[in-house]
Amino acid sequence: MIPNLPPKPRKTPVQARSTATVDAILEAAARILETEGLEGYTTNAIAKRAGVSIGSLYQYFPNKDAVTAALVRTDSETMAARMEEVRCAFEGRPIRDCIDALIEVAVCHQFDRPMLARLIDLEEHRLGQDFGLSEAKQRIVQVVRSLLAQSGLDLPFDLDTVTQDVFALAHGITDAAGLNGETDRPRLNTRIRHAVLSYLGVPAS
């Protein structure tokens, strides 16, 4: 008899079509962020581009931020999975090769849709620790952290700092390149590899 104040969490899709609806919504959300930016990023626009009614959207997401959070989470988990996969595949092989492959993954993730990556990043920080966004991000960081820990390299700063900085500088270079309209991904990879390896103090090949 207690008036359910927050009936927030909505239905979880059980049939195939509702799963498709949710997928379409997230895909549409990403495309709108990418092409229209935050200005055009409205729930009505998302539903429309998804080919779904606005009512359907709110049957699976309690509010707009929940859509964004789901988008962020999907994005992070995809990234985490790819990074872990690479780490696993390069077990035992030279660190340089693994770093190369990880850079490839990170760049691929951010460089093809620079505006989307940028806005997802922004929203991720705005939504903060709510919505439990950070788990996947932790996994991503952990891949690189453990790689560096096992590398035997003489790091210029403590492990966590180096991990963070390597991510940050790669992210910064990719972001600038993407917004600058560059399209040559191998070249970008080369530059980032140079920045990362020289930061880490790995001697040039």
Partner DNA sequence: TTTTAATATGAGCTATCACTCATATTTATG
Partner DNA sequence: CATAAATATGAGTGATAGCTCATATTAAAA
Q: Which positions lie near its own copies, rule CB under 8 A?
A: 37-39, 118, 122, 125-126, 156-157, 161, 164-165, 167-173, 175-177, 179-180, 191, 194-195, 198-199, 201
CB of 168 to its own copies, least distance (A): 4
Q: Is 131 in the site for DNA (CB under 7 A)?
A: no
CB 184 within 8 A of CB 141: no
Contacted by 68, from its own copies, DNA, none: CB < 5 to 8 Å by type: none
Which residue, 39 or 91, has its beta carbon nearer to DNA? 39
Q: Is 63 in the site for DNA (CB under 7 A)?
A: yes
CB of 59 to DNA, least distance (A): 6
Contacted by 172, from DNA, its own copies, none: CB < 5 to 8 Å by type: its own copies
b/e map 103-129, b = 16+ CB within 10 Å = bbbbbebbbebbebbbbbeebbeebee
Which residues, including other chains, have CB under 8 Å from residue 128's CB and lie 6 or more apart?
none
User: Which tokens is 124 given?
Assistant: 């991720």
Contacted by 165, from its own copies, DNA, none: CB < 5 to 8 Å by type: its own copies
Which residue, 51 or 201, has its beta carbon nearer to its own copies? 201
The CA distance from 200 to 95, in Å, is 12
Q: Is 138 in the site for DNA (CB under 7 A)?
A: no
Secondary structure (DSSP) of 36-66: HHHHH--HHHHHHHHT--HHHHHHH-SSHHH
